[in-house]
Amino acid sequence: NLIISLGGDGTLISTCRKIARKGYKDVHVLGIYDGTLGFLTDIDLNELEQFFDEFLEGKYDVERPLMLEITLKKQGKKDINKIAFNDIVLTRSAVISMSKVDAYLNGKYFNTYYGDGVIVSSPVGSTAYNMSANGPIIYPLSKTFCITPICSHSLTQRPVVLPSEYKLSFKNMGSSNVSIVIDGQDSFDMSEFDEVFITIGSTHANLIRHLDRDYFDVLKEKLHWGHNGGKA
Q: Which residues are catalytic?
A: 9
Rg (CA), the chain: 19
Return the sign of the alpha-carbon dihedral for residues 193, 132, 64, 48.
positive
> How far is 224 from 72, CA to CA, in rounded Å?
39
Cβ-contact 176, 115 below 8 angstroms: no
Q: How far apart are the first and last CA of the chain?
A: 39
Element (H, E) at 100: strand 99-105
> How far is 57 from 47, CA to CA, in rounded Å?
16
> How far is 145 from 68, CA to CA, in rounded Å?
8
Count of CA atoms in the C-beta half-sphere (13 A) of 103: 22
